[in-house]
Amino acid sequence: QKEVEQNSGPLSVPEGAIASLNCTYSDRGSQSFFWYRQYSGKSPELIMSIYSNGDKEDGRFTAQLNKASQYVSLLIRDSQPSDSATYLCAVPRGKLIFGQGTELSVKP
Amino acid sequence: KAGVTQTPRYLIKTRGQQVTLSCSPISGHRSVSWYQQTPGQGLQFLFEYFSETQRNKGNFPGRFSGRQFSNSRSEMNVSTLELGDSALYLCASSLAGAEAFFGQGTRLTVV
């Protein structure tokens, strides 16, 4: 089992819809979780950090953490074509452990 | 506040040569990590430095090495370049190994 797993996608949603990206992790002791967005040919950009169970909202983005079930998700409301990118989930364990990323495509 | 700066942005080298990449972290950040990203391989961890000491190392051959200076700037070196070393090399800095912020990367092409 990989330490951090994501569906590779691609995930395609229409403009204005909610995009839901999921990530599971294997280490029950993990305390913090990060979501990065990476546009094609660019470097990853940190968009959300979450440390406690529940939801954390930042604009159109909501991160959800469920430590009991060992998953963290990212919801993007009112998806825009500019949200089309690969989204990476990361967990720190001395170093950042990344999932393989989920490619999101938002269709106009 | 300046972000993470990587130089050079693009590099073309010949097989067998060596290359040195540079990374200047965000001011005050003492942790610098290096990653290699190739199409289909995802982000692969190379190594992490904290206060001039290598704290973690990924599963790469000894041709890949790095160091960190007292001002937290870091360099990575790849010797005896192979075609398979062609990749985007990313540097990330953090305060103490938590949230990491990436530089724009160095795209290395080995021909």
pLDDT of residue A50: 94
What are the pLDDT digits (tens) for B25-59?
A: 999 999 999 999 998 788 999 999 999 999 999 99
pLDDT of residue A19: 97
Residue A85 forms contact with B (CB below 8 Å): no
> Cβ separation of A43 and B104 shorter than 8 Å?
yes
pLDDT of residue A70: 93
Phi-psi region of B5 (alpha: psi -120 to 50; beta: other; left: phi over 0): beta
Spatial contact of B103 and B49, defined as CB atoms under 8 Å apart: no
pLDDT of residue B86: 97
Task: Using CA coordinates, name the residue in chain B closest to A48.
Answer: B99
* Per-residue exposure over A58-89, b if at least 16 CB sit within 10 Å of its own CB, e if not: eeebbbbbebeeebbbbbbeebeeebbbbbbb
The residue ranges of chain A whose pLDDT is under 70 are none
Does residue B96 have a pLDDT over 80? Answer: no
Report the percentage of chain A scoring pLDDT > 90: 80
Using H for helix, E for strand and C for coil, what is the string for A1-60?
CCCEEECCCCEEEECCCCEEEEEEECCCCCCCEEEEEECCCCCCEEEEEECCCEEEEECC
How many CB contacts within 8 angstroms connect chain A with chain B?
45
What are the pLDDT digits (tens) for B62-78?
A: 999 999 999 999 999 99
Does residue B97 have a pLDDT over 70? Answer: no
pLDDT of residue B1: 63
> Cβ separation of A43 and B103 shorter than 8 Å?
yes
